[in-house]
């Protein structure tokens, strides 16, 4: 088949979806299913860095002061990847952008394993930057389900893909001991074990998307919007949505603040626990609860965001994160129960903020530039997470974990005046 024939067949395929609302609905459901399957693997991949990244650095460097660097590095790497994945998705579609991002993240995980074997801190840091591509891609996958969703489905679509992340994300930390034993059995340091799982999981997530995400939802959505504009129609899917800069700013601010608070407290929790005699299995359990709370409530959160509104749930995010910070600060270091409660609330507050902020961002962007804008905002989210991760170790080393938790809780309530300002500006 020559290029002209191929392009003609592709154009014909796209137009068949433009003309049929039934095919659009079927593709919407198929896209959600495929992305959700990829998120199971993606969730397992991201859990490795969260659970043992700080411990690997602590072991190699012999100090707590830089234990936040791994989180900062793979979050910084995710910043560059977020922009690239967004740009690739805008030009070639979600399938290309997401599959490439996941596979690169898998290669980064392989680099971490090699670094642990040869005890190279430089290779570890470089590999963590690359590993961050998987984190960015896992987060950007939430947008894919919204391309063909109307305004009353968007938060629910985001949440459905995030729910499936839970299965992998919760399993990952709780397989720390299993993967550690497996790693030792093949001559790899035990702390690198979770990255073996991450490498396989990210690469599988990329392959699932590359093989199954057809036809391309974003390209179909662009064609639908173009057709609606041409015929001056105003149906829900594919309508011309004027860019709302204020909405983009507020949506981004919600996600950035929740990311800083969540990453900072989460990063130092394993180190804080290890200082109070908790073993690797216990650390994995607490982080498992945390990551479960980040993703498992998503289905309900999406419905609440669509029903109660983006602003209401953003305020709920700030209040929940404040409670998380206060409980983490006041909890005795040897109390696993209170740490589980604090980290679960931390995950839940992040969940409220991410879904409400994402829905507001999608509401405020046009299809023609949406993926690129989403990628740019995710860069800012990643950079804020990198800052939170890097500063968290220094704050704890200079003061205490309790101080970090209180500061994080106070920072989270800045969400409230921001969203109130946005609500007033709409009235």
Where does residue 11 rank: exposed (0-12), middle (13-18), buried (19+ CB within 10 A)? exposed
pLDDT given for residue 46 in this prediction: 79
Helix segments in 119-175, DSSP class H = 121-144, 154-174
Contact assessment for residue 164 and residue 144, using Cβ atoms and an 8 Å cutoff: no
pLDDT given for residue 10 in this prediction: 63
Rg (CA), the chain: 21
What domains can you pick out in the chain, each with its CATH number? Answer: 23-228+237-426 (1.20.1250.20)
Q: What is the mean pLDDT of each run of 10 residues along the chain (427 residues)?
A: 54 82 89 91 78 76 71 80 89 92 95 90 90 88 84 84 79 78 89 89 95 89 79 49 81 95 90 81 84 85 92 96 95 88 96 94 85 89 84 88 93 90 76
Contact assessment for residue 27 and residue 17, using Cβ atoms and an 8 Å cutoff: yes
SS (H, E, C) 236-292: CCCCCCCCCHHHHHHHHHHHHHHHHHHHHHHHHHHHHHHHCCCCHHHHHHHHHHHHH
pLDDT given for residue 296 in this prediction: 83
Contact assessment for residue 125 and residue 113, using Cβ atoms and an 8 Å cutoff: no
pLDDT given for residue 6 in this prediction: 44
For residue 399, report the phi and psi dihedrals to the nearest 5 degrees.
Answer: -130, -95
pLDDT given for residue 240 in this prediction: 46
pLDDT given for residue 324 in this prediction: 96
* DSSP state string for 192-219: GHHHHHHHHHHHHHHHHHHHH--S-HHH
Residues 6+ apart with CB under 8 A from 199: 45, 106, 107, 109, 110, 113
* d(C-alpha 270, C-alpha 181), whole Å: 19
* d(C-alpha 353, C-alpha 158), whole Å: 12
pLDDT given for residue 237 in this prediction: 47
DSSP state at residue 190: G
pLDDT given for residue 227 in this prediction: 80
Contact assessment for residue 87 and residue 372, using Cβ atoms and an 8 Å cutoff: yes
pLDDT given for residue 65 in this prediction: 67
Which residue is listed with tokens 């603040």?
257
pLDDT given for residue 169 in this prediction: 73
* 415 alpha carbon, distance to own chain's centre: 19
Q: What is the pTM of this model?
A: 0.77
* d(C-alpha 163, C-alpha 151), whole Å: 20
């Amino acid at each position: 088949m020559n290029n002209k024939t191929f392009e003609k067949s592709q154009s014909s395929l796209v137009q068949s979806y433009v003309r049929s609302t039934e095919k659009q609905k079927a593709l919407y459901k198929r896209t959600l299913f495929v992305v959700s399957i990829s998120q199971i693997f993606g969730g397992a991949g991201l859990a490795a860095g969260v659970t043992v990244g700080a411990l690997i650095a602590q072991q190699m460097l012999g100090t707590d002061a830089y234990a936040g660097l791994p989180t900062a590095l793979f979050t910084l790497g995710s910043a560059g990847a977020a922009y690239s994945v967004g740009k690739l998705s805008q030009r070639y579609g979600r399938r290309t952008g997401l599959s490439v991002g996941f596979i690169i993240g898998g290669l980064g995980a392989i680099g971490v394993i090699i670094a642990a074997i040869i005890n190279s801190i430089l290779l570890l840091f470089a590999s963590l930057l690359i590993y961050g591509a998987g984190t960015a891609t896992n987060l950007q996958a939430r947008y894919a389900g919204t391309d063909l969703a109307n305004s009353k489905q968007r938060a629910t679509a985001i949440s459905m893909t995030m729910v499936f992340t839970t299965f992998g994300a919760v399993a990952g930390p709780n397989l720390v001991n299993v993967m550690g034993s497996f790693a030792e059995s093949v001559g790899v340091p035990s702390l690198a074990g979770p990255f073996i799982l991450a490498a396989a999981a990210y690469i599988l997530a990329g392959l699932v998307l590359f093989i199954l995400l057809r036809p391309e939802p974003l390209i179909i959505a662009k064609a639908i919007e173009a057709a609606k504009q041409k015929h001056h129609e105003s149906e829900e899917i594919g309508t011309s949505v004027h860019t709302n800069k204020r909405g983009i700013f507020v949506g981004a601010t919600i996600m950035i603040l929740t990311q800083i608070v969540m990453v900072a407290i989460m990063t130092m929790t394993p180190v804080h626990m290890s200082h109070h005699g908790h073993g690797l299995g216990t650390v994995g359990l607490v982080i498992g609860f945390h990551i479960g709370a980040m993703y498992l409530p998503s289905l309900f959160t999406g419905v609440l965001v669509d029903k109660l509104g983006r602003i209401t749930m953003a305020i709920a995010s700030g209040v929940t994160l404040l409670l998380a910070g206060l409980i983490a600060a006041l909890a005795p270091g040897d109390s696993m129960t209170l740490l589980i409660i604090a980290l679960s609330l931390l995950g839940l507050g992040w969940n409220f903020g991410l879904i409400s902020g994402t829905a507001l961002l999608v509401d405020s962007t046009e299809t023609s530039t949406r993926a690129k804008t989403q990628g740019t905002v995710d860069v800012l989210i990643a950079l804020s997470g990198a800052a939170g991760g890097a500063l968290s170790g220094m704050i704890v080393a200079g003061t205490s974990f309790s101080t970090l938790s209180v500061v994080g809780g106070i920072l989270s309530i800045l969400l409230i005046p921001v969203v109130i300002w946005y609500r007033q500006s709409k009235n």
